[in-house]
Structure 1
């Protein structure tokens, strides 16, 4: 069965990689793209995109009305990703969303809409399978080494900090350990933000530099020992297998799933 796919954000670094992946996957059919700057054109008319006769829409609702699609892959920014996903669910099109930075309120709203319409939706802060394994290993480690800090490093064009992966990691760690205040209770920041953000006592540090793609370290400390669990994505191809898996899985869902770890066997 061919799965008919819309891609939102085809000019972005992740989006352009997804266009190539969908185009080369035999079971996928790219039927449209959503791009705010190129409505009314086709992909072959857009610089640096493949020579494909695929229509581009700047109006998402028009795209959903005029296109017979099963899935939308959204790799844009949080506000646009939320709006696209909400509208897609109203048209019974299944969102696969790789946009990080959604608020809990936005996730809850999409979950309610997904259940109401019986239409699957997958939101994953990170589509790299190795990154998901990193988070699962960290959840296990936190049972035994509850003192932990997270350092996430991304390219300097990333808009949200901390990353969705870091927030998701902290949430998973919280499930394994009791809340605690780490470090010296009398410590004082000589420069505001020196200790990073804090989630349930877990300090999260965000690094933004050119040359980086997506990297994270989770550092655990205990008496006489430390444990570091890390993952590195060196290019956007690292996310494509997770997106491919999610597209297949979302076809069998009737509710929202948050996190790639929840669809891995």
Structure 2
């Protein structure tokens, strides 16, 4: 029996790559795609190829019929509504869109538990990024001080990235990093010390030439440890992790943040 999948953002950079991988998988079936600009068309023809029988619709509400798992790669403005709509219809969700806040995640977790459904959300579905996250969690158990640098393209609308926010919150659960001089006591312009996320200082850089990179720097007297993940110019790194989440989400209840639990299972 295959898992029926709908992809929101199916004509987007990552959404298309994920949809193509779902189509190629023996244990998954692509039932629908969401794209306002291509609504009413066959997905294969939207991709400038042969018809493949997958309808493209304008809204998530239309895409949920017969779907087991909704994958969302849309925008920070739409993802919360899409996720809650899917949960309300009894559909599990894999969230790849960034920009959700801690309050948003709390609302999603409560809604999913109320329906006994699973939601897996990751700031970055790259397996190598997830491995870096696991390594950073280990380091935080033994090193007392760290900060995060979040690099992204000049046009990225949200800051910090979902990857950096998720990492900060995960490390903040391990322990609060030690800061010798509290940020509020910084002489000069304290805002140059970055933003505080879950007790962790995060510095967001938005420049041409970057796709998405996240670096956490740990410091001890006379030594430093940097753990950094750099994404390339294609969506390929995010596909394997998204498929892993699609296959796992129906066996979970409530919200799962990141892939670390799945990788360590």
Normalising to structure 1: TM-score of the pair?
0.90
> 1:139 touches 1:175 (CA, 8 Å); kept in 2?
no
Corresponding residue SS for 1:263: helix
Q: Which residue of 2 aligns with 1:163?
A: 161
Cα distance, 1:201 vs structure 2: 5.0
Are the structure 2 counterparts of residues 176 and 44 from structure 1 closer, same or farther at C-alpha, using a change threshold of 3 Å? closer
Q: Distance in 1 between matches of 2:87 and 2:182?
A: 48
Unpaired runs of 5+ residues, structure 2, are none
In structure 1, the partner of 2:142 is 144
How has the CA–CA distance of structure 1 residues 200 and 171 changed in structure 2, closer, same or farther, with 3 Å as cutoff?
closer
* Segment of structure 1 superposing worse, 117-126 or 3-12: 117-126
The count of aligned residue pairs is 262
| Alignment partners' CA distance in 2, 1:189 and 1:98 | 38
The answer to whether the 8 Å contact 1:95/1:122 transfers is yes
For residues 165-191 of structure 1, the C-alpha deviation after alignment (integer angstroms, 9 at most, x for no partner) is 11121122222334533458764345x
Whole-angstrom distance in 2 between the partners of 1:246 and 1:157: 28
Deviation track 1:120-150 (CA, whole Å, cap 9, x = no partner) reads 2111111112212212221221233222111
RMSD: 2.1
Name the counterpart of 2:208: 210
In 2, Cα distance between equivalents of 1:201 and 1:27: 42
> In the alignment, which residue of structure 1 is the partner of 2:63?
63
The answer (yes or no) to whether the contact 2:146–2:177 under 8 Å persists in 1 is: no
Q: Which residue of 2 aligns with 1:52?
A: 52
CA distance in 2, matches of 1:231, 1:206: 15
Give the corresponding residue for 1:225.
Answer: 223
Give, in whole Å, the separation in 2 of the partners of 1:259 and 1:83. Answer: 20
C-alpha change, 1:104 and 1:200, in structure 2 (3 Å) is closer
Number of the residue aligned with 2:245: 246
CA–CA separation in structure 2 for the residues paired with 1:233 and 1:55: 31
CA distance in 1 between counterparts of 2:77 and 2:148 reads 26
Q: Secondary structure at the match of 2:7?
A: strand
Partner of 1:42: 42
Structure 1, unpaired ranges of 5+: none
